[in-house]
Structure 1
Amino acid sequence: MSNKRGNGSGLNAIERRAAYSLSGLFSLRMLGLFLILPVFSLYAEGLPDVTPLLVGIAIGIYGLTQALLQIPFGMLSDRIGRKPVLIGGLLVFAFGSVVAATSETIYGIILGRALQGSGAIAAVIMALAADLSREQRRLRMMAIIGISIGFAFAVALILGPILNSWIGVPGIFWLTAVLALCGVAIVLFVVPTPKESHFHRDAEAVPSQFGKVLADPELLRLDLGILTLHMTLTAMFLAYPLSLRDLGMASESHWQIYLPVMLLSMVMMVPFVIIAESRRRMRPVFLGGIAALGLAAALLYGFSQQLLVLVVGLFIFFTAFNLLEATLPSLIAKSAPGERKGTAMGVYSSSQFIGAFLGGALGGWIHTYFGNEGVFLLCGVMALVWLLIARGMPDPSYLSNYLLPVGKLDESEVARLAAKLMAIDGVDDAVIIAEDEVAYLKVDLQVVDQQVLDDYAVGEVH
């Protein structure tokens, strides 16, 4: 076997273009989903036959259709190509936005939001990112895309109230349709077209692996965590805008709360992420984040009539939310075997979207009988249950996934290469899938010499 290095120290030109264009595509779609989050509960009060339960379903229903369709869409893209599925999903999303924009009843908006979620392209974007990246640089590209999602969410919370004061909620839905069409243009003219598309088990779900992933108690614990986190988020925004309104704050001014809270919370969570990863204190930081989530909900429940406490509670909530949102994928990657990471992330992502739906539905039902305070109490109870379950988690391994293209190998070559890789300091596990022509490694990045690993890479990727 001849070794050939084809992996520079960073992303190459194609990878950079792919990373930033796919990040923009993901951001446009997330903006379309989240812009209504801080304003919809206020708008929906004026709709005929509306109930809090229906409002919650309207906010969260996209999560149900997204969870049901994202993995099948990813598999479809393996068969007919990434870009056709991306374009189709974006057009479905745009159509759902138009349905919601033109609806004068809560039922029409629920249908529109369900259609928005049916444009489930998240898994397809990740698969295309894998097509357009070298194995050794894939994590870096995925990290760029992940950062863009968090940025889009923060922007949506701030822009939502401002746009609502200018164009109203129907106008926001029209805007999301335009954003989806802009996404189509990005796919057609900006996103690189891969030389070939094929299955990537590190980025896509493998149906035969679902049983093992769903039977893994640590992965299930983390799936429950992301489900709970997004349940609390969706439920929170059923009640929080109404609480600000009840204290006399006009909806067009709510951004004055969200802007500083989001900025400060994003800054505040950074040192905790550094402590968790660099100083290897993941478990206490993670459990502390869950406890802070519960503390925030308790403050909002106990002092919902005091504006200052509402602001402080939201700041604590988003500091904890951002911290947990950043650490949960890292824990999934640490816990899942390298060759099952794509399946584990697929189940994790579906759990996140199911959580958004359950938070809307359950939060709306609770609001019907117990008002805003009942919803805040629900968030606190969910955080407490999560904390009790998470207390049993072991300290994570602090191992990272590392992929190496190894070319065509027979059984004896696979065994020999696996033994050589396992002998390298910092390599904890090496699984070589001959049909993938990839070695899936678990490595300690603080110990392993990545250049030594890269010397075993075969062939030029893109």
Structure 2
Amino acid sequence: MTRAEIRAAISLAAIYMFRMLGLFLILPVFSIYARDLPDATPALIGLAISAYGLTQAIFQIPFGIWSDRFGRKPLIVIGLLMFTAGSVMAAVTDSIYGIVAGRALQGAGAVAGVVMALAADLTQEEHRTKAMALIGISIGISFAFSMVAGPVLAGWIGVKGIFWAVAGLALLGIVVLYTAVPTPRLLRFHRDTEAQPARFASVLANPELVRLDVGIFALHAILTATFVALPLILRDQLHMDMPEHWKIYLPVFVLSMVSMVPFVIVAEKKRQMKPVFLAFILLTAAVDAGLAGLVPTTFGIGVLLYLFFTGFNLLEATLPSMVSKVAPPDLKGTAMGVYSTTQFLGAFVGGAGGGWIQGHYGIPAVFLFCAAMALLWLAVAFGMEKPRHLSSLMVNLGEISASAATDLSARLRGVPGIADAVVVPDDGVVYLKIERERLDRSLLESVLNEAARA
């Protein structure tokens, strides 16, 4: 990657991280804080935690479409200002309804897809995967940091202070956008990062992609519902003050991140993705069932949370990788757009549904709901095909006619190690699905060079 590409990737990852911190920091603390608000009920508390998911799901694809027309940076600024306004609204109100509205406004500033599109504008095709991976890492860091720092910050500055802090982070993101992120010379539509609404039917007709969409919906519903109930157990049954909750979360997260690595290696290197994937869905169901029936002790909760986050981290990491492997090469952006939409809908359903269940049936029922959701996911995933270990590759070919593009696609599919090839003449880009170990790179270069000279 060039220095400009590295700078763009790092600065865009920072902007993404600032925003995700704003969504995640209250997750481990809000259900405790909100119980003292006027008119608060478990259902409204769950809705306040997850309201951002509904508006994020509604607006993320439109934001991407609008950015193609009006520019990436202006749309990112609008989204971050909306996020700031939602954070301020939540900070100044003493009403649970005001916080629900503030969280919904936070989510409506749905700039995630626009940030990805801007990263694509600023990176060459052969380096784009690295930039996207850096942004993906920033999401994981945001979540892990929020679980540990949220309770500590709530003890220092209060939950209102957290809302003020994340408003400041959103404004800092605008500063980073205009001081550190280069301005692209040309805006282009990128099929690998942006959704094509006209092709949604193709994605939704693919049963393997639908299984993965169900999976991310269930995973984030389980996560959000869990954190409607879990902080209450730590405070009310383990008698841990909120600022002390990090003492549970920190070791659990560190151990879970280390523990998942061998299983990722087995899944990827040993070609055992399906059995590992199914086993960790089952583990998630078993942990939630354990949380429902456990008489809480610090050790018992710690062990179950360690198992929960080991499973969550592995599944969260493998799901988008599997979408990338399964999606047709020219529909990766569309498949990821649908996937992200279902992810945020899952967060909304988990928070709202978990709060309602807690209010009517108690905390153990929330965990039983999560276990049932995991078992339903397991049933859907059980019929999945064994994932092929494919990678995406893009090549900027330049101008090519439609007839030559069709001929080139057929020739590329005949190259050993190429599972699928799509040449888009309007973009002048070749989208490939490859098996890296089998790929005949010299033959691939020969075919592409011949096409470029034609």
Tell me how far apart the structure 1 counterparts of residues 267 and 449 of structure 2 sit (CA, whole Å).
Answer: 31
Which residue, out of 373, 381, 388, partners 1:382? Answer: 373
1:284 aligns with 2:275: yes
Aligned residue number for residue 128 of structure 1 = 118
Report how far residue 216 of structure 1 moved.
Answer: 1.3
Aligned residue number for residue 194 of structure 1 = 184
Aligned residue number for residue 312 of structure 2 = 321
Percentage of identical aligned residues: 54
Tell me the amino acid that sits aligned with residue 248 of structure 2. I
Q: Judge conservation of contact 2:80–2:171 (CA < 8 Å) in 1.
A: yes
Paired residue secondary structure (2:189): coil
Q: Give the aligned CA root-mean-square deviation in angstroms.
A: 1.6
Q: CA, structure 1 residues 458+12, in 2 after alignment: closer, same or farther (shift >3 Å)? A: farther
Which residue, out of 243, 256, 266, partners 1:252? Answer: 243
Deviations 1:97-120 (A, max 9, x none): 000000101000001000100110
Tell me how far apart the structure 2 counterparts of residues 402 and 245 of structure 1 sit (CA, whole Å).
Answer: 49
Aligned residue number for residue 258 of structure 2 = 267
Aligned residue number for residue 393 of structure 1 = 384
Q: Judge conservation of contact 1:405–1:457 (CA < 8 Å) in 2.
A: no
Deviates more, 1:450-459 or 1:79-88: 450-459
Paired residue secondary structure (1:45): helix
1:157 aligns with 2:147: yes
1:116 aligns with 2:94: no
Tell me how far apart the structure 2 counterparts of residues 162 and 452 of structure 1 sit (CA, whole Å).
Answer: 57
Tell me the amino acid that sits aligned with residue 290 of structure 1. I
Aligned residue number for residue 171 of structure 1 = 161
Q: CA, structure 1 residues 178+416, in 2 after alignment: closer, same or farther (shift >3 Å)? A: same
Q: Judge conservation of contact 1:304–1:373 (CA < 8 Å) in 2.
A: no
Q: CA, structure 1 residues 351+392, in 2 after alignment: closer, same or farther (shift >3 Å)? A: same
Paired residue secondary structure (1:439): strand
How many residues get paired? 450
Report how far residue 415 of structure 1 moved.
Answer: 3.4
1:309 aligns with 2:300: yes
Aligned residue number for residue 24 of structure 1 = 14
Q: Judge conservation of contact 1:407–1:458 (CA < 8 Å) in 2.
A: no
Q: CA, structure 1 residues 160+458, in 2 after alignment: closer, same or farther (shift >3 Å)? A: farther
Aligned residue number for residue 203 of structure 2 = 213
Unaligned runs of 5+ in 2: none
1:229 aligns with 2:219: yes
Q: TM-score, normalized by length of structure 1?
A: 0.95
Tell me how far apart the structure 2 counterparts of residues 215 and 424 of structure 1 sit (CA, whole Å).
Answer: 28
Tell me how far apart the structure 2 counterparts of residues 344 and 232 of structure 1 sit (CA, whole Å).
Answer: 22
Unaligned runs of 5+ in 1: 1-10
Q: Judge conservation of contact 2:408–2:451 (CA < 8 Å) in 1.
A: no
Which residue, out of 282, 289, 293, partners 2:284? Answer: 293
Q: Judge conservation of contact 1:299–1:310 (CA < 8 Å) in 2.
A: no
Tell me how far apart the structure 1 counterparts of residues 204 and 45 of structure 2 sit (CA, whole Å).
Answer: 32
Tell me the amino acid that sits aligned with residue 191 of structure 2. R
Tell me the amino acid that sits aligned with residue 92 of structure 1. M
Paired residue secondary structure (2:421): strand
Query: Where does structure 1 differ by over 6 angstroms across 4 or more consecutive aligned residues?
Result: 457-460
Aligned residue number for residue 79 of structure 1 = 69
Q: CA, structure 1 residues 274+234, in 2 after alignment: closer, same or farther (shift >3 Å)? A: same
Q: CA, structure 1 residues 117+450, in 2 after alignment: closer, same or farther (shift >3 Å)? A: farther
Taking CA–CA contacts closer than 8 Å with sequence separation of 6 or more, which of the two structures ends up with the larger relative contact order? 1
Which residue, out of 330, 337, 340, partners 1:349? Answer: 340
1:427 aligns with 2:418: yes
Report how far residue 90 of structure 1 moved.
Answer: 0.4
Q: Judge conservation of contact 1:404–1:457 (CA < 8 Å) in 2.
A: no
Tell me the amino acid that sits aligned with residue 371 of structure 2. G
Tell me how far apart the structure 1 counterparts of residues 49 and 73 of structure 2 sit (CA, whole Å).
Answer: 28
Tell me the amino acid that sits aligned with residue 28 of structure 2. P
Tell me how far apart the structure 2 counterparts of residues 457 and 245 of structure 1 sit (CA, whole Å).
Answer: 65
Tell me the amino acid that sits aligned with residue 420 of structure 2. D
